Structure 1
Amino acid sequence: MTTAAVAVTGIGLITPAGIGAARNWRRLLTARPTAATDPELAGLRVDIACRVPDFDPERLLDPKLVWRLDRSVQFALIAAHEAVADAGLAAEQPDPTRTAVVMGTGFGGISSLQAQHARLLRSAPARVSPLTVPMSLSNMAAGCLAIEFGTQGPNLSVSTACAAGATAIGVARDLLLCGRADVALAGGTEACVTPLIVAGFAKMGALSSRTGDPAGASRPFDRFRDGFVIGEGAGVLVLETQAHARARGAHIRALISGYGASADAHHPTAPHPDGTGLEHALRAALADAGLADRDITYTNTHGTSTRLNDTVEATTLVRVLGSQATITSTKGVTGHLLGAAGAVEAAYTVLSVQHHTIPPTANLTTQDPAIHADVVTSPRPGRIRAAVSNSMGFGGQNAVLAFTAA
């Protein structure tokens, strides 16, 4: 086993699949989609989304705190509290100066910014909230986690579009390995299901137009896919050096053994048609982990349900991992969580490794004949020695995390 591995000791999730890691895992295994018509998108050409169910921030957070935080930061705090409790850190309180926070996001506090802009247009500058700027800044998830948990180590925010959550986890791992910290809270958060953002994605042609069948709209790798369904949520992992985790007797869910990142240097929104950037990141992650292609049991793909992404990604995986490449996409259930997607899907990959089960890909009824990988469509039990999680983002961002069993 590579000495570059770090331990995953805690998971926190709040997604359209549920609040809490256990609920998320159960929903994934049923392959039940979460997409539905969204009243807040009424009147738009695309009016479907994947929302966090039964979300009441005042029940989950200090009510005196809620009104000062953008929805994306609320998500991050809720996920982080679960992760910290899961890791058993709430009572142990590690050295705050040796505890890092790294969070990723695509849009930051965009919903708060839009709300205040609307107030400005309706009323006057005097009606704009004095909290407009802090609620809108993209670094506030990381900053508020540090305030909440008293962490005083490196505190970073990354923005690599839809790869942001995975990039944050990779950066946090690097901080631990280079000795900057012993513990890290790392993940991603996003809350941008707003008319402006949805209208923008729809105008690009990125969203599914299957508005008459929301549950069937997100269908990764399916021959009849036509775009993604936007979602929201957050995922946070507690990472520790193996020495720190073992010294305190922590339960290690899995190991992050490798990380690779790259840029396509090709197009602002489209992946490289040959998948060269993703291939570079994937091969880098495998080399970092000391793994061969035959060691990978399965890949949790970016799998957006868009025509180009799914074909490029699957073709690249077959080229690198061989015809036996076994893949799945959880976006058929959750939709696309944008800046949070990589972190949430990294958490799902950890759960898969821990439970030795590959979750299914929802809504795959007719596999695209151009996709030659083994796409899993029902829960598949079996020992998972190693797995990878891919993330790709606008701007040509690629991030790949390799996980191995503890």
Structure 2
Amino acid sequence: MTRKAVITGLGATSPIGGDVETMWANALAGTSGARPIEKDWVQEYDLPVTFAAQLTNDPKEVLSRVEARRMDPTTQMGLVAAREAWAHSGISTDDIDTDRLAVAFGTGVGGVWTLLDSWDNLRERGPRRVLPMTVPMLMPNGAAAAISMDLSARGGAMTTVSACASGTEAMDNARRLIETGQADVVVTGGAEAAIHPLPIAGFAAMQALSKRNDDPQAASRPYDVDRDGFVLGEGAGALVIESEEHARARGAEIYAVLAGSAVTSDAYHITAPEPEGLGASRALRAAMASDDIELTDVVHVNAHATSTPVGDRPEYVAMKTVFGDHLDDILVSATKSQTGHLLGASGALEAIFTVLSLYHRKTPVTINLDNPDPDIPMNVVHGKPGELPSGDIAALSNSFGFGGHNSVVAFRSY
């Protein structure tokens, strides 16, 4: 019999809060995490975009000095979020079989700061000044490895690198580890720290970033007719997932069921989504089919909704194709309007929002939706939090990445 995967712990560090409690309160209040980047390199490189959604709390405030020096910022953020999720779950490694404890984590870029800083160091000062820890610090699997060592998790440390779908795809791996009996507990999620001059310049060159330098907090505006690109964000989200019997045996509080998940690919274009949302719609259907979720069970979707002119509509087309008229009854939240786009960590953060929406029966608001795009007619939550019904309900979280990566996770209330 397939085992049920449940959520028992949540952790995060983000542009709208350094922990889950603060982040959730700000998500309901409609807080923007975007602000000017106050670094010398913004002027040095004459960057066309001078703002981003930056962390509210420095990981170095939580990690020891020795730990922080041996980790890229991406790994630092991932470890901070994982430790919070682990503490929130109430598990002790003394009480579990660590051979059956696994890690499944994602990132879109990995140790970009370490890689590029080390390259500068090599060119300017020579190979003898390159740090011995450079390679382990720049590796994309750094966060998964650090978390597994921190928790003595010996059931596997998996890393997904699938652009902006990475964190959600990691949860798909986590669900399968639980349901197939390969693990009893999995720490999953994603981390990203790419607010660096090169990614900013690259994203700006391809017209992906908003250029509202004069008003950063109004820059991320999914579904608005005046949207002009996403706001780059940073941070990490982590979830502790257990088999239901394992969680119940230790008396854990269960926040939701990770009922289904799916991964598909567009095979269409390296950056643009398939315009009819064909791959996305297949992912939506497959995620619901994992647990026989009926269309009418779904009352909420945390959408990918990056705020790009070409990206928002294909996701709507996919959801309309799948849900038909029922889409009018689904409350849609676009939380990147507040957090910015955390690339490989975005799905992890948005999954946390989705779990908390089911648990508290409230949904985060979408900010900056001043002039809704008439080509995207959806029931988008803005102005005040949405209210979800009582009873057994389901919600989805969507993530789509460059390269045509589509990943969807489906949660049920518990």
Q: TM-score, normalised by structure 1?
A: 0.97
* Pairing 1:278-357 to 2, within 5 Å after superposition: 278-323=280-325, 324=328, 325-357=330-362
1:21 aligns with 2:26: no
User: Which deviates more, 117-126 or 331-340?
Assistant: 117-126
1:190 aligns with 2:192: yes
The one-letter code sitting in structure 1 at the alignment partner of 2:160 is V
Aligned residues: CA RMSD: 1.3
CA drift at 1:358: 1.3
1:238 aligns with 2:258: no
* Residues 235-262 of structure 1: CA deviation (Å, up to 9, x unaligned): 0100001111111111000001011110
The one-letter code sitting in structure 2 at the alignment partner of 1:312 is P
1:44 aligns with 2:50: no
CA drift at 1:315: 2.0
Judge conservation of contact 2:105–2:189 (CA < 8 Å) in 1. yes
| Number of the residue aligned with 2:203 | 201
Structure 2: state its 5+ residue gaps: none
SS of alignment partner, residue 104 of structure 2: strand
> How far apart in 2 are the matches of 1:4 and 1:32?
38
Structure 1: state its 5+ residue gaps: none
> How far apart in 2 are the matches of 1:4 and 1:220?
37
* Pairing 1:89-104 to 2, within 5 Å after superposition: 89-90=91-92, 93-104=95-106
Runs of 4+ displaced beyond 6 Å: none
Alignment CA distance shift 1:91-1:262 (3 Å):
closer
> How far apart in 1 are the matches of 2:148 and 2:5?
21
CA drift at 1:93: 3.7
* Pairing 1:6-405 to 2, within 5 Å after superposition: 6-40=5-39, 41-42=42-43, 43-57=46-60, 59-90=61-92, 93-323=95-325, 324=328, 325-377=330-382, 378-383=384-389, 385-405=393-413
Q: TM-score, normalised by structure 2?
A: 0.95
> How far apart in 2 are the matches of 1:261 and 1:207?
26
* Residues 174-225 of structure 1: CA deviation (Å, up to 9, x unaligned): 0111111000000100001000010000001000011111010000111110
The one-letter code sitting in structure 2 at the alignment partner of 1:386 is A
SS of alignment partner, residue 290 of structure 2: helix
The one-letter code sitting in structure 1 at the alignment partner of 2:32 is P
The one-letter code sitting in structure 1 at the alignment partner of 2:9 is G
Judge conservation of contact 1:293–1:322 (CA < 8 Å) in 2. no
> How far apart in 2 are the matches of 1:117 and 1:306?
32
Judge conservation of contact 2:59–2:80 (CA < 8 Å) in 1. no
Judge conservation of contact 1:28–1:330 (CA < 8 Å) in 2. yes
CA drift at 1:63: 1.7
Judge conservation of contact 1:263–1:396 (CA < 8 Å) in 2. yes
> How far apart in 2 are the matches of 1:128 and 1:284?
47
CA drift at 1:127: 1.1
> How far apart in 2 are the matches of 1:93 and 1:46?
49
Number of aligned residue pairs: give it: 404
Judge conservation of contact 1:228–1:336 (CA < 8 Å) in 2. yes
